[in-house]
Amino acid sequence: MNKTEEILSTANKLRWEVGENIHDSILESIYKEASNIAGQVVTRTGEKPKFDLDRFIDRLVTGKWTGFPIMLILLAVVFWITIVGANIPSGWISFLLVDSIHPWLKQLLVSLQIPWWINGIVVDGAYLAVAWVVSVMLPPMAIFFPMFTLLEDFGYLPRVAFNMDNLYRRVGAHGKQALTMSMGFGCNAAGVIATRIIDSPREKIIAIITNNFSLCNGRWPTQILIATIFIGGAVPPYLAGVVSAAAVVAIAVLGVVFSLVVSWGLSKTVLKGEPSAFSLELPPYRPPRLLQTLYTSLIDRTIFVLWRAVVFAVPAGVVIWLVANIRIGNLSFAEHFIHWVDPAALFIGLNGVIFLAYIIAIPANEIVIPTILMLTALTTRIAASAGAGVMFELDSAADTAAMLEAGGWTVLTGINLMLFSLLHNPCSTTIYTIYKETKSIKWTMISTFLPIAMGLIICFLITQIWRVIA
């Protein structure tokens, strides 16, 4: 230890000798040398072109008046294509997996003399949940992710961050939070990891807590589906696509607003401090490579997210079948629970089915919608021939809507479900990542429960206002 103290004291002594500004003089000499060398080796031939396309695009997409409208329109177009395009393949897949293979599998197990309850758990539970996850989620993802990846490859996301940067600084957060927020639109866990680019611990924690307000891969399909069914269903058919796309954009924008409001609240209370400055480089636009983009967005994102959903869907399917078929008295366990929480749930404009679905689907956001559909089907007993907990031919969003309306769903339920899907706890992977990044149980808990509390309060308020108006 003596040696090290000696080193440190020598360093202190020498620091006085070389002068305090050694850091600056080194930096200065680095910059000088860099410009020196660059001056010698770089040649530019010809004048700068009069019309620089990159600069022109930048002036538009980061412009004071044009930046935000372009951002919203781009988002809306992406969702509109997704919503309009996903319906048809969804029908095909569900025809194949749910209408054709499912009865065949069931028959097969019956002919093999498998006991009815094993048949139920495996075919009506696990298999159907997987079939539903695939048919509900695969088409929107396969359309949405490549488009999103193209925008990312092209270089648009840093422009989004550039537009948002000023807003984040004004609420006392780090401008780079705009980047991690954009990253969260892909996956919150990735967004949380990306907060490593933020130097100050205070601003990093703000960025982590608020990352959940960026709709993630798992929740885009939920939003798109609910918007298609309820918001799209409430307007004339020729407007349905546009209006439901607008609804999804509204929710996404609302998420950004929440992240700003919460950042502001945190930086004014428990995480006080001045925002630190940074420079954000706008990368040049690069023509996206179509094949590579298709490959990465299909393999890395679509298949990855789908696989995760399937993995979680299997046990969830089993649980769904069990709660629907284990009876206490006359009613199934699920019905008991739903009736029990219904008063409280209806009070805030949701319903017992949604609560139960969120409990079953805690491991992954992706399977919330399939779970809700299966639970609704079993409690409303739309099912004609088979037993409880079995989903039936819902070839299109219209059929899904018919079923949900029979289950007592309204436009209000749809709106609240979209809000609640935006404002609830992060998925288990994200929670774990938050813990790993912050190493703090306190901040992990806050990141987990703050959104739920906000979700319940907001749904409650919306419901009260709705009931006053309607």
Partner 1 sequence: MTIDNQNCATCPAHNLANLVKLGIDMSNFDYVVALAGNPNTGKSTVFNSLTGLKQHTGNWPGKTVGRTEGGFQYAEKRFKIVDLPGTYSLLSTSDDEEVARDFILFGQPDVTVIVVDATRLERNLNLVLQVLEITDRAVLCVNLIDEAARHKIYVDDRALSKSLGIPVVPTAARQGIGIQELLRNIHDVATGKYICKPHRLSSEIKNVSNAVDELNKKISKAFPHLPNTRWIALRLLEGDQKVIDSVRSGEIGNLKPVENFDE
Binding residues for partner 1, rule: CB under 8 A, are 1, 3-8, 10-11, 14-15, 17-19, 22-23, 25-27, 29-31, 33-35, 37-46, 152-155, 157-158, 176, 179-180, 183, 193-194, 196-199, 279-281, 283-286, 289, 295-296, 299-300
Q: How far is the CB of 4 from partner 1 (least distance, A)?
A: 5
If the CB atoms of residues 6 and 393 are measured against partner 1, the closer one turns out to be 6
Cα–Cα distance measured from residue 208 to residue 180, given in angstroms and rounded to the nearest whole number: 9
> What contacts 340, CB < 8 A, 6 or more positions away?
352
How many CB atoms are located within 10 Å of the residue 113 CB? 6
If the CB atoms of residues 294 and 346 are measured against partner 1, the closer one turns out to be 294
332 has which bridge partners? 327
Task: Assign 326 to helix, strand or coil.
Answer: coil
Cα–Cα distance measured from residue 59 to residue 146, given in angstroms and rounded to the nearest whole number: 26
If the CB atoms of residues 17 and 384 are measured against partner 1, the closer one turns out to be 17
Cα–Cα distance measured from residue 63 to residue 111, given in angstroms and rounded to the nearest whole number: 67
If the CB atoms of residues 183 and 388 are measured against partner 1, the closer one turns out to be 183
If the CB atoms of residues 26 and 110 are measured against partner 1, the closer one turns out to be 26
Q: How far is the CB of 259 from partner 1 (least distance, A)?
A: 18
Cα–Cα distance measured from residue 78 to residue 83, given in angstroms and rounded to the nearest whole number: 9
Q: How far is the CB of 308 from partner 1 (least distance, A)?
A: 16
Cα–Cα distance measured from residue 97 to residue 389, given in angstroms and rounded to the nearest whole number: 17
Task: Pinpoint the alpha helices (H) of 407-440.
Answer: 411-422, 428-438
Q: How far is the CB of 306 from partner 1 (least distance, A)?
A: 17
If the CB atoms of residues 32 and 268 are measured against partner 1, the closer one turns out to be 32
Q: How far is the CB of 345 from partner 1 (least distance, A)?
A: 40
Q: How far is the CB of 465 from partner 1 (least distance, A)?
A: 39
Task: Pinpoint the alpha helices (H) of 120-230.
Answer: 128-154, 156-170, 177-184, 188-194, 201-211, 220-226
Q: How far is the CB of 186 from partner 1 (least distance, A)?
A: 9
By C-alpha distance, which of 180, 170, 186 is closest to 208?
180
b/e per residue 241-274 (b: at least 16 CB within 10 A):
bbbbbbbbbbbbebbbebbbebbbbbbeeebeee
If the CB atoms of residues 234 and 303 are measured against partner 1, the closer one turns out to be 303
